[in-house]
Structure 1
């Protein structure tokens, strides 16, 4: 391991690690296995499970090494700044990720169905292909190709989940204040509450999906509305899952006393990510459930 230095002119460089290649092998098996499985080849899903296991082992090993380096005070102020910039750019990339999906929703809702109904210069598309199509939202596609379905009401489980995420944003902020004040027990308490709220959100979203499939006939095949609904809420749910895992790791690290008032970037990065997830949900709640 390279020697640590707090001299601003010296940058910490870790020794070569085998974890990146391990992670690459795991991701290759995971994605490749799923692709093969989707083509009805039975061994594909076994390969994907093996890849997932390898990837999880990589996460434990690689992040464990980073944690040990941090606890050994191997990161100086310059390293800390680069960590913050890296996390900021990562969150920016996530913003662009969801912007693409919100853009797809906007395009389908405000442009595509208008053209299919005869608006603007695309009127010939309407006359030649689907003369009876009407520009209404939500839509199951021309000639009702997506089948009949009902939408998920905004003021049921989605409203409850909104309240849960807003509350979790408050509790993680309280945990941040506690760690900055050096109160380990209080930090762990608020983190535990935040983790519980994240799990509660995921449980309610799973219940919402089951209800949508079984009682509303709202599936991925329910036209463009079903596709965009599950695309946006599903990817957000995946991000909530990742955020909850990150918060759980922070909780265990807090219980072990890893964080100090002046050095707790891992906690801060997780809090930033969780606030980002909360803001995205507010956009989803408005544009997917209400409007």
Structure 2
């Protein structure tokens, strides 16, 4: 299976995604902000539409547009401090509106289905290089801001009092979420991308471990979900986004069932 070039590209991309998504996801989930992933994935839809219609690289366009939407979400938090879900609805509606408007003109120069559902056939070397660069930058930035992000995640007000530059770090983190979303477009697809932000973290939370262990288990479950989903999609000849999403749900159900069994024993 992995003797084919397109599967090798897909495998490398999947490994990058399986590391990056859970790292970002664990902070979003613990901040009760997991739906931001869904909003940003729909924002990437508008970015892809811009790239396809105007002839630019869709992944780079998705990154720039999701980054802009992430910054907008943080900016709007000052105006809707008690209604964070409204901010997500505003950005999501704006993004979907742009995407549908542009694609409905019929000027897209490529098939948008591979971006909506994911495809193991369309990951090119250029896409892989872009994914690699964005992933390395994102991981290095996350590691350098780890302690501050951890503080902000659990107590944002105390972090402000302690002198942590909460606003700046939140803006940087929003950019990282945009990068994470954009690197996964080709494999996961826009429609199921948010599942990989939340589900590996949801699975690892069932183990009731500390933060670092939860983070490590999230990466492990993310890797299992994506690789199994990728292999299954190859053998049954379907879009990998769907099989990866289903695999992540099945793994979560298995862990919950195993936990229940152990508690009874």
Normalized against structure 1, the TM-score is what? 0.31
In our comparison, the structure showing a higher alpha carbon Rg is 1
Normalized against structure 2, the TM-score is what? 0.33
**More relative contact order, 1 or 2 (CA 8 Å, 6+ apart):** 2
